[in-house]
Structure 1
């Protein structure tokens, strides 16, 4: 039986004062969580530092990254768990791409 995979997109905002090595560690952890659930990252778009619409945890800017991938539905729960426990993540959002 074939396992159903869907297309997803996640956007996450990191603290702007993180070192490049710390940002890469977070990105690697997210990618490995996707691949552990038999998913595939299709595109990574690092926007860099952008001004936030409102202050989050005393930060006025954040480092944005958009990641597109396809995976099983179980990967969403795992990604949200990872984002919640990482200190460098200010905000995150995982959505399913229907188009």
Structure 2
């Protein structure tokens, strides 16, 4: 069943702005290649983290809104976990109220 998700991804600060954007585009291509739909992407730019992650204090933030098959999320999470350029990610299932906000 297709559901609406919000996916926040933080990329390594070792990347340039353009490389971070390319990494996010590659990640979004994984969704579209597997019958997902990208609603929109917000590029928050480089920001300081609330707390260090793996001795890293900042990163490039992207918030992606998408429709995707709920049974395939595990596969994408696994692929993100082995990508060295992603320092943190979080999927959030969007409810009806939040859909109208974003």
TM-score band (shorter)? 0.7 to 0.9
TM-score of the two chains, using structure 1 as the length reference: 0.87
* Number of equivalenced pairs: 96
Equivalences for 1:46-61 in 2 at 5 Å?
46-61=43-58
RMSD: 1.4
The offset of 1:38, in angstroms, is 0.7
Question: Take 1:52 and 1:91, find their aligned partners in 2: how far apart are those partners?
Answer: 10
Contact kept in structure 2, 1:11 and 1:67, CA below 8 Å: yes
Structure 1 residues not aligned, in runs of 5+: none
Q: How does 1:28-67 map to 2 (within 5 A)?
A: 28-67=25-64
For residues 1-99 of structure 1, what are the structure 2 equivalents within 5 Å? Answer: 4-99=1-96
Q: Which runs of 5+ in 2 are unaligned?
A: 97-102
User: Does 67-76 or 43-52 show the bigger shift?
Assistant: 67-76
- Greater percentage in helix: 2
In the TM superposition, structure 1's runs of 4+ consecutive aligned residues that sit over 6 Å from their partners are none
TM-score by length of 2: 0.84
